[in-house]
Amino acid sequence: MQPASLAKFSPGVESHGYPAVDIFAPPGTKFVAVTNGTVEFVSYEDRWQPENDHPALRSGLAVAIIGEDGWRYYGSHLSGIAEGIAPGVSVQTGQLLGYVGESGNARNTGAHVHFGISRPTYAADWVTRRGEIDPFPYLTAWLNGRDLTPTMP
């Protein structure tokens, strides 16, 4: 994450009903890997439709990695996926994953990345996968150069 991106966020529990944050940034801002890991999931197509509003499709374009620490890191509402990002690809901290946007149900909300941390689960478990622990303390620690690994409450 770019430091300026953390200046404007909406807290997860209050705004989502589950732990995650929306990190607002100009459209096209780089979304990067927060840790070394392996790409677990990529949504290359925005299939969300307001008339249907299926919760599993709200993310639009999205990328998730499983970090070497065993946690799943997820970013959605992207405007594009970086070249070469695909399931099974190894990534390094700071590597480009995609670009901030307004895909999925973020259309017309202002460009942002919906960022969540969860334990790895099965593909259809979108409830857990969208965010299971509050990511803001970890984002703040990483921004300040502290190596902090999530733990379950």
Query: Is 109 among the domain residues?
Result: yes
CA dihedral 31, 2, 17, 118 (to 10 degrees): 60
How many separate domains does the chain show? 1
Query: Is 55 among the domain residues?
Result: yes
Query: Is 150 among the domain residues?
Result: no
- How many angstroms separate the CA atoms of 74 and 117, rounded? 6
Q: What is the pLDDT along the chain (153 residues), one digit of tens a residue?
A: 333 344 444 444 445 677 888 899 999 999 999 999 999 999 999 888 888 887 788 889 999 999 999 999 999 999 999 999 999 999 999 999 999 999 888 888 889 999 999 999 887 887 888 888 989 899 889 888 898 898 766
- How many angstroms separate the CA atoms of 121 and 128, rounded? 8
Report DSSP state, residue 113: E
Residue 148 and residue 138 in contact, taking contact as beta carbons nearer than 8 Å: yes
Residue 47 and residue 62 in contact, taking contact as beta carbons nearer than 8 Å: no
The pLDDT value recorded for residue 6 is 44
CATH assignment at residue 114: 2.70.70.10
Query: Is 149 among the domain residues?
Result: no
Residue-wise pLDDT for 23-60, tens only, equals 999 999 999 999 999 999 999 998 888 888 877 888 89
Query: Is 89 among the domain residues?
Result: yes
Report DSSP state, residue 56: G
Domain that holds residue 86: 3-143
Query: Is 58 among the domain residues?
Result: yes
pTM of the model: 0.86
Q: Is 66 exposed, middle or buried (0-12, 13-18, 19+ CB in 10 A)?
A: middle
